[in-house]
Amino acid sequence: MGFTDSRFDVNLSILFTELPLLERPAAAAAAGFTEVELWWPWVDAPVPEQSELDALRHALQDAGTQLVGLNFYAGQLPGPDRGALSVPGEESDKFRANIDVAADFAQSLGCKALNALYGNRVDGVDPQVQDTLALENLVLAARAADRVGATLLIEALNKPESPLCPIVSAPKAIEIVDKVNAATGLGNAKFLMDLYHLSMNGEDLNQVIDAYADKTGHVQIADNPGRGAPGTGDLPLADLLGRLNKAGYDGWVGLEYKPGDRPSSQAFGWLYSA
């Protein structure tokens, strides 16, 4: 159970980053993956040139890779930002400008999952003001996702690495999921269960799986400590994925880990020996 019974996709924003973006889908395919996911690739451009969108689409299609997950615009990732949708002013405006661009791009590739990262608390801004703005933007994102037949994902990050992010536990993420679904009536908001982030928070992963598998729309993994490949840390990832399977989760499991000092193409030995 676990590795052999799970469906894996590779995150091209953390793996294969030694290559230019347009070369990563072919590299993932050469490593044996037919499904991939991405953070929003243009950190400074919520609305990139159509030629850039077209080039990425063609790179994914030419490689024979299926995009199964895409982030909405989230600011500088990796970097200081943890999303944009709760940040008043320019960042919220950028998120809103990106919503239909990201949704249409996802639709053009048959991608059915769109991740909306909440964003950090801002000094001098009332948290309630941020949370009201966030819900407004998440409702817009959920409606856009529904328009293209997709799920809206809401992810819990981890407090040690994201101390200004207010969504740093599974229950908090579920609270936001429920608020969005109540506001839209669409029911298409789901939990993105990142086992690395939850473990960094010290959460009981078995309990999280048992409680929230039915509200989970996507899973991501990395080992802890180190955010490396399975087997480089202490997490019983095969057991956890087996538990998810038994709980009824049959969606994708995104490989969102750092390859270490080796080329990304050599970071999958754990999978082929499983």
Exposed e or buried b per residue across 20-34, where buried means at least 16 C-beta atoms within 10 angstroms of its C-beta: ebbebbbbbbebebe
Asked whether the beta carbons of 137 and 91 are under 8 A apart, the reply is no
Q: How far apart are CA 231 and CA 268, in angstroms?
A: 11
Name the E strands within 116-205.
Answer: 151-155, 189-194
Question: Is residue 256 flagged as an active site residue?
Answer: yes
Question: Is residue 155 flagged as an active site residue?
Answer: yes
Looking at 37, 91, 155, 203, which residue is catalytic? 155
Asked whether the beta carbons of 117 and 71 are under 8 A apart, the reply is yes
The number of beta carbons lying within 10 Å of the beta carbon of residue 216 is: 23
Here the tokens at position 13 are: 């924003």
Which amino acid appears at position 257 of this protein?
A: Y
Whole-Å CA distances, 149 to 34, 64, 170, 199: 21, 22, 25, 31
Q: Which residues is 190 bridged to in the sheet?
A: 153
Q: How far apart are CA 192 and CA 188, in angstroms?
A: 12
Looking at 35, 37, 203, 256, which residue is catalytic? 256
Q: How far apart are CA 209 and CA 248, in angstroms?
A: 10
Catalytic residue list = 155, 256
